[in-house]
Copies of this chain bind each other. A is one copy, B any other.
Amino acid sequence: MIPRLQVGILGATGMVGQNYIRLLENHPWFSITYLAASPQSAGRKYAEVIADRWLMSTPVPEPVRNLVVGDANEVSSAQGKCQLLFSAVDLDKKAAEALEVAYAAAGFAVVSNHSAHRMTPDVPMIIPEINPDHLEVIAHQRRARGWDKGCIAVKSNCSIQSYMTPLWAWMQAGYHPRRIVLSTLQAVSGAGYPGVPSLDMVDNIIPFIKGEEEKSELEPLKIFGRLENGVIVPDSELAISAHCNRVPVVDGHTACVSVAFDGRKPELEETIRLWRGFRSVPQQLNLPSAPQEPIVYRDEPNRPQPRKDRDIDQAMAVVVGRLRPCKVFDLRFVGLHHNTVRGAAGGAILTAELMAQRGIIV
């Protein structure tokens, strides 16, 4: 039995913050008890602050309408109001890094969407189906930094989610993907609001997203890494080349992935069986936000497609298809996930559920 936890959101007025609020409505373990944003928003009720900026298609949930927004820069404002903080602050790397450390030092469990701490060696970057055991680094993190209750965990960039679980399922079955060339077709919601101008997206695509390829090539190595001497040591055998494109899709990042293996090559049918049968810790623990089938394989030749497949299993599944031999590497496939749910707020909530279940949030 998980005791109900009080939850705050830093950056509650932005698009990711709004997604947290939407997804946490009626959550069985977490109650939103604190919202913080920039100083201009602080001191007013959330419903009032958000009135003409609410972007979700469901209304602002009743329980948060009357919460008075705090100043996210004031750690003390959160004191006594919550134990867990989802960080969706819109700050540069340095400022975000410092602020999240300050919150952790003050005793809060911080689960962050920001990229600031993703490559920090003692901060785990969690995809709950892949590396739940990286949470063990938090004990080292607390010891090294002198924190008792506070801690920081992060989620990865949204671009990589659709191929990480399929790759992991192969790894779990003893295969060794070693070289990957992929191209993404990423939704505009990934850039937040206002984000990408429509003049760039009507009758157009943009073959570039600032910083995205670097993250897509580095972050998987840490997620597939191992815990050693109190830090996460990235995988050094995998090489990834990512081309990242922006396309006129609202939600749902698609990836076209070619994979070369070292050693044995998995068969097509075997892979589909592996993927469909893949279950991991979130499913075993029956975490509230865990998809029943983390990997959904579609047989149709022209799927997955973002508008038609992104919402499967509360938008928490990764949907794959078109597994076939690659003319240059061994195998190739197409992956898809809902970038603002599975790839952002939903993935962070699942991580926090795992942390709560493991007793890390106190």
A residues with CB within 8 A of B: 51-52, 55, 57, 179-183, 185, 188-189, 193-208, 210, 217, 239-243, 245, 247-250, 254, 256, 258, 300-309, 311-312, 321-322, 326-329, 332, 334
Q: A205-B305, A206-B302 are in contact. Are A197 and B197 (CB under 8 A)?
A: yes
Neighbouring B residues of A210 by C-beta, 8 Å: 301
Q: A188-B199, A203-B250 are in contact. Are A240 and B194 (CB under 8 A)?
A: no
Q: How far is the CA of A273 from the CA of B206 in the complex (A)?
A: 24
Neighbouring B residues of A57 by C-beta, 8 Å: 307-309, 311-312
A198 x B248 contact (CB < 8 A): yes
Expressed in whole angstroms, the minimum distance between the Cβ of A222 and any Cβ of chain B is 15
Neighbouring B residues of A217 by C-beta, 8 Å: 327
Neighbouring B residues of A329 by C-beta, 8 Å: 181, 241
A258 x B181 contact (CB < 8 A): yes
- A197 partner, pick from B195, B245, B311, beta carbons under 8 A: B195
Q: A194-B197, A194-B199, A205-B305 are in contact. Are A243 and B332 (CB under 8 A)?
A: yes
B204 x A308 contact (CB < 8 A): yes
A306 x B203 contact (CB < 8 A): yes
Neighbouring B residues of A179 by C-beta, 8 Å: 328
Expressed in whole angstroms, the minimum distance between the Cβ of A162 and any Cβ of chain B is 11
A249 x B301 contact (CB < 8 A): no
A197 x B199 contact (CB < 8 A): no
A243 x B206 contact (CB < 8 A): no
22 chain-A/chain-B pairs, Cβ below 8 angstroms:
A57-B308, A57-B309, A57-B311, A57-B312, A181-B181, A181-B258, A181-B328, A181-B329, A183-B183, A183-B256, A193-B197, A194-B199, A195-B197, A198-B248, A199-B250, A203-B307, A204-B305, A205-B249, A208-B301, A239-B328, A241-B327, A248-B248
Of A197, A249, A250, the most chain B CB neighbours within 10 A belong to: A197
